[in-house]
A and B are shown apart, each in its own frame.
Chain A
Amino acid sequence: MAIRYKIPLMLLLTILLSMVLKWTLPDPIKNTEMRKEFWLRKTHPAELYDFVIGGDSRTYRGISPNELSETWDHSLHGMNCGYSSIGLSTDYLDYLAESTKPKGTILLAVTPHSLTAEAVKNEFFNEHKNTKRFDLFKGLYLSRYLKHTAPYKVTEVLDHLTGNTAADRYFETFYPDQGWAKSYRIPEDTVVALEIYEGLFSRYQVSDSVQMDLFEKVTELTTKGYTLYAFRIPTMRSMIQLEDSRSGFKEIEFQQMFDKAGGTWLDIDPSLYHTYDGSHLHYESAIRLSRDLGTLLKNIR
């Protein structure tokens, strides 16, 4: 074959093969490009929100701000600022306040792990906070185009080709404009998280100083005019029992201190929702929780 034809032929063939691949396969289960935009959009917001929701992975997978506004107040625009393994540190609360309009609302989804000294190191959050300028540009403005080139896992292609639907899969769809991720797992496994948390609480306990710092920050922010609510994000009953017995978390005391600091504690019945892994809410429950939370807030106001 003549050399001069090789480059154009290679380009043509590449385009054709790519089109066939995209046409044959469904979208990748995990879109890594959307994931980048997802984290960076919430870390570096281009606007201030009427309300923000803070918490760990149970939060960013558990509450949809749009669904919450639906039942609370249509005109309110919110962002879920949850991060994996986030700790409710003063820096994190400052960031939540900076993302909120003056006198806006901050909702804190509390988990015992988010009150440990280990969690408040917030490595994952800091990594995104300190993103280099060009990486930020890529994440915020290019990812939405690059999402069409998100890579596949070999196993998902094999499963698709062989029609294997029984494979163990975790599904996650990101909504960067809300900071919410719709997630579920097939098949569900409600034991897997319990084992992990048992290990976690054998190493890390809820810290008094983290809680005290949090309450001080709540007082400071409420004095500045922000409205703060907190609630224990629903999870599986046995997980709550594990957390109550192993983490050192005293929910009643925490509620009292939070209210005393100027915030408002919200009671949510965890039995209404179900998790797919023993920790995180199935997306249907997440939508329900978001709407229930909106109704609750509406009734308070």
Chain B
Amino acid sequence: MIFNSIEFLLFGVLFFALWPFMRNNKETRWSFITMASFFFYGWWDWRFLFLIIGSGLIDYSAGLAIEKYRRNKRFWLVLSLLGNLGALSIFKYSLFFAQVGEDILAKIEVTVNLQDSIPEFALILPVGISFYTFQSLSYTIDIYRGRLKPTKNILHFFSYLAMFPQLVAGPIVRAKDFLFQLNRVRIPSTLERWNAIKMIVFGLFQKMVIADNLSFFIDSAFEGKAVYDGALFWWVVMIAFSFQIYADFSGYSLIARGLAKYMGYHFKMNFNHPYLSRSIREFWTRWHISLSTWFRDYVYIPLGGSKKGFWWGLLAMALTMLLSGLWHGAAYTFLIWAALHVLWLSIERITKWPKIMRYHSLIIPVIFIQTLLAWVYFRSADMEQGNGIITKLFSGESSDWAFFQFYLDSIFFIGLGILIELVIFVRKNDQQWIRFYWRYGFDVLFVSLAIVAIIFFRGEGKQFIYFQF
């Protein structure tokens, strides 16, 4: 079930009504979280449960085996990696691998149809598989590295792995940050509850008001239903998409964090106004932070990071980014999206231009445009469409301005998204404003306005974009 649905509202009310009675005893708490989370996940399709339970059982057992048989710990880790990455390969990448295989064979003039030979079950992508696979992997890797003690209680493990707020779209929570939280009872204070409500409401606002209202405009452009074209039109479409994906994903993370906070737990921040970044490197410390740090800790640093010299660092960064691209989706377009980020990051590392221009007024828009250009491939159905849009963006081809009028209902929300970011940018360090804001309870007004907007100005309900990853 998705957060912006009636069924989740009912589920949430029931869960939080029972939570005070269930949280006091460890076993009861873990059982309750696990069962509720399985119900939440099984709502999509109960067959998905087999995969998460299977994947979880492998890692739970591997964790215990690594601890018990330290001499063979590498074997158990490999087993865990094979189990997790194997499932991910089958369900997420089999079609892509088949396509790549076909393309390579076609180069040597051998025609085969690998895609049709994939069994039907492997074509179904279980919701959130990339998220919980990475969570599960971090568990065994941290035990292997001696940074975490495995839990002996399977319910404790599953309450971590399957916990519903972050299960399908993150943030990717590390076992070492969360297992110990699940061990204790923590009743949130009134302030924490209020903050949790704010997170949930602002998260829903981002998703239902900003992201959903932009979808009609973006979908009609990318699906070729729009009668408008030209450079200006596509720039506006891409600005809209940049804000849609941000609001959609950041909204989900915020709701997840709010729900966890209301339970008495803490999830780390996943988005920190990424479009206010002054370099692409900074962008990656503000965008999907839990994934970036996951790749940093489990891929980039083990590859040697920047310690093995400048060029090796570049290579490690490129490999990490490309893997991150593949994590997002099994298609060439995601690889190009990642490759563009590799390009931007490499230029930054070589020239250090963002440091030189750090206080230039145009630095933030320039970085935003760089991310926007990469988003073109992220959203495009295929390479041809992506290349076509990039060409249009720089073609100078005129656009019929009537599209502003036609899509005003969507374009208004681009303006709102930009305005919110601008206000945060201008006011975030203004202590006088912050004091004024808190003293007179402006947050109450903003939460109320956000709820009213969610009810009366929500866009057409859509699934969260990141569910597909």
Contact = CB atoms under 8 A, between A and B. Distances in A.
Interface stretch (B168-176, B191-199, B338-346): B191-199
Interface in A128-158: 134, 138, 142, 149, 151-155
A232 B194 CA distance: 61
A6 B409 contact: no
Interface secondary structure of A, over-half rule: helix
B457 A154 contact: yes
B456 interface: yes
Interface string A1-22: 1011111011001100110010
A186 to B, nearest CB: 16
A173 interface: no
Contacts of A1: 438-441, 444
A151 B452 contact: no
Given A7-B197, A151-B457, A17 B448 contact: yes
Nearest to A28: B456
A7 B194 contact: yes
B190 interface: yes
Q: Among the interface residues B444, B447, B449, B452, which one has the most CB atoms of the partner chain A within 10 A?
A: B444
A32 interface: yes
A10 B444 contact: yes
Interface residues of A, number: 23
Nearest to A167: B405
Contacts of A17: 448-449, 452
Interface string B30-53: 000000000000000000000000
Given A1-B441, A21-B452, A154 B408 contact: yes
Interface secondary structure of B, over-half rule: helix
Interface string B142-162: 000000000000000000000
Contacts of B413: 154
**What is the interface residue range for chain B against chain A?**
20 to 34
A17 B459 CA distance: 19
A151 B190 contact: no
B457 to A, nearest CB: 6
B425 interface: no
A134 B193 contact: no
A139 to B, nearest CB: 11
A70 to B, nearest CB: 36
B190 A149 contact: no
B465 interface: no
A149 B452 contact: no
A7 B193 CA distance: 9
B456 A149 contact: yes
A153 B408 CA distance: 9
Interface string B82-94: 0000000000000
B108 interface: no
B6 interface: yes
A152 B452 CA distance: 11
B455 interface: yes
B14 interface: no
B443 interface: yes
Given A1-B444, A6-B441, A17-B452, A152 B6 contact: no
Contacts of A142: 6
A253 B187 CA distance: 77
Nearest to A18: B452
Contacts of B7: 134, 138
Interface in B282-297: none
Contacts of B23: none
Q: Among the interface residues A3, A18, A21, A142, which one has the most CB atoms of the partner chain B within 10 A?
A: A3
Given A6-B441, A6-B443, 6 more contacts: A1-B440, A3-B190, A14-B452, A17-B449, A18-B455, A149-B455
Rank and list the top 5 A-B pairs by shortest CB-CB distance, nearest first. A1-B441, A13-B448, A14-B448, A154-B412, A17-B452
Interface of B: 6-7, 190-191, 193-194, 197, 408-409, 412-413, 438-441, 443-445, 447-449, 451-452, 455-460
Interface of A: 1, 3-7, 9-10, 13-14, 17-18, 21, 32, 134, 138, 142, 149, 151-155
